[in-house]
Structure 1
């Protein structure tokens, strides 16, 4: 049984001391063999501007926290997880997309495998004018999917786990994952950018789960 996320009384919520203690608690839950819960829409951290990671976490604790985040992402299962989704207002995210998908979907959505990646203090910028619109879901907004129109090609800058500056271009579905997770670090969820008439419950989504969104656009009038 997973434990509830609760503020720690002895430190000011979201202060560096609180972050250190809460991250330690989450890591210890994971290392004891459990999966910490993902917070849901309505949790205040999901609407906060994430703090730049500086010295809030020692390198060993950061490594343990990244391992915890990866375990939560895989267990969900998902293709990305941001620290705010565990109630931690830090600019940290993990990404991985190695799931099987049909050849038709892979082509239509430009979905290429994304090996495990850790991004710290990330930013992204669009490259060119090309855009793509597809359904997205979110582990912090359970039960729904919605179409989001995003830049199809981006450049991302970030630090790796040891603080090395990195710059990398992403296209297609990989670019969508990076944008989705980085948006979390700015207090934004996909629903803030979604075409709201496209929103559908998971129970209804299979009827629109095509490589493209043309049928959904016609059927839901968005």
Structure 2
């Protein structure tokens, strides 16, 4: 059933050959089968399908992996709203419904951070994906309505706020997710501003070791000495 849903969704997207429609059509299929089968895999793909509909994608060629978020602001707003709705629904659910909505919310958290990450590099002009003149300048921060600095600052504030709340409430997934993206954020801004030099790499590595030790200590307190 799960494999069938995946194959059907992919086949319809290929047949339609329209990025927006091809991304939207699989959503109800994945939702219905995920609910019926209790599949966390399929429910986790639903936010990814929504992200694809608003310009999110991945790519690979020889030794190169790519993440593309063409509408960072829209991605952040969309998945913040969907993630919060899913989380509040999870608090009022039990069993299968709770498990599925939690997975949905967690994937939304990751997508929000990806939106901030790309925005902190290129800035954003909301709606540029549908404006050819703006689309031609998509991978340039020149003339962006929302600057990379604004994204970087907002991302740092969001990470601090979410991390403090998660630690206080014992939400371990969110704590670890915040720690992961905080390091990504730090390294992105670090090397964007300092460049790749022996000193920047050495100091960056020492900071990474410190953060890794703190994360290890936190998880050891929570989960004990299990490998």
Structure with more relative contact order (C-alpha pairs < 8 Å, separation 6 or more) = 1
Structure with max Cα Rg: 2
**One fold, TM greater than 0.5?**
no
Normalised TM-score (structure 1): 0.31
By percentage of residues, which structure has more strand? 1
* TM-score (ref. length: structure 2): 0.30
